[in-house]
Structure 1
Amino acid sequence: MKTYVRKLPTLAIAFLLSGCASLSKEECQQGDWYGIGFSDGVQGRSLARFDQHREACAEHGVRVDISTYETGRYKGLRRFCSASNAYRHGELLQRYDGICPAELEQDYLSNYIAGLEGALQQTENHYDELAKEFEDTERLLIYLEEKIARKKVRKDLKEIDAEISNLRERRNMIFRLLKSAELMQSE
């Protein structure tokens, strides 16, 4: 048992290091740099991802083809930067890091902002519903005389209050993302 416990940190480090490589030895040797670039582009990855690939493949003695990678990544970014994707990214409150090609950026940002505004509207509506439910529950608490019922209503109030607090945080996040996107759009 003691031997196993002593080896645990070593095993954990080995496990963590094995997950660090962006590409496997086989992927590096296959060298489908267009496909790898396309995949990274579709996922909205920055060009810094190429450096991770370069490091991973250098460990296996494989050189990478940045030109072919960039061509594939550009094609993938064209898909990533579509209007429908932009709207969905905004709705899901995903951060945008300015990776779309210049000719697509303004359209992407317009749709991304529309998605954020849609998320904000949903959040505001849900917030209003919960605030009303909270007020109604508070009124109910005033009229209840049984201790057991009052205890349950107080518990309900705490749960509603926690959800309202989460919605406030969500709303603040949306405002930060909107401000960032609007600043990018105005540049």
Structure 2
Amino acid sequence: MKKYFLYFLGLNLIAFAVVLNVRFDLGVAAFSSVMYSISQIYNISLGTASIICYLIFVIIQCILSKKITVTFILEIPLSFAFGWLTDLYDFIIPTLSLSLYLRVICFIMTMFITAMGVFLSVKTNLILTPTDGIVKTISEVFSFPFSIVKNTFDITLVFVTIILCLINHTHFYGLGIGTILTALFIGRIINIYEKKIQLSF
């Protein structure tokens, strides 16, 4: 029960943090930048855009691993569930009117929430969100530390977002100082959690 509780908590922390980052208006988290830009460019919900990206990530995992596993298949229904969860938090969390100073502080705190959500969902070794699943797959296939791959993957998504916006001749939706901070530091925060927190089930 402990494992499933922490897993459920981790997923909720990630979805909660994704929406909070949008509300702070400092730039969305790097790992959700592509999803957010798609939602703005094509006028669809953030959850729907997330589902589209997640399904693409599942396909990439299968290609990199050169196999289709039950774990990858289970990421498909999770993609829909997590997309709906994101839309739920998007509906619940109101628009926030905070000073720039408070928004910066809250954004930094939210990075730790995001990192904890990723840490818990990965460490429970259940079904990962495709965003974390593809990072784990790359980590295993190429034998790189998860936290390093996380940093690199997040930065890559920021570049994909820039290219996507340029192709569609739009504003750079969701990109800001917060995006850079998450790209540089969430992986490192996860690394701190990995070293300091020992989970046993």
TM-score category (smaller protein): under 0.3
With normalisation by structure 2, the TM-score equals 0.23
Q: Which structure would you say has the larger Rg?
A: 1
Higher RCO, 1 vs 2 (CA within 8 Å, ≥6 residues apart) = 2
With normalisation by structure 1, the TM-score equals 0.24
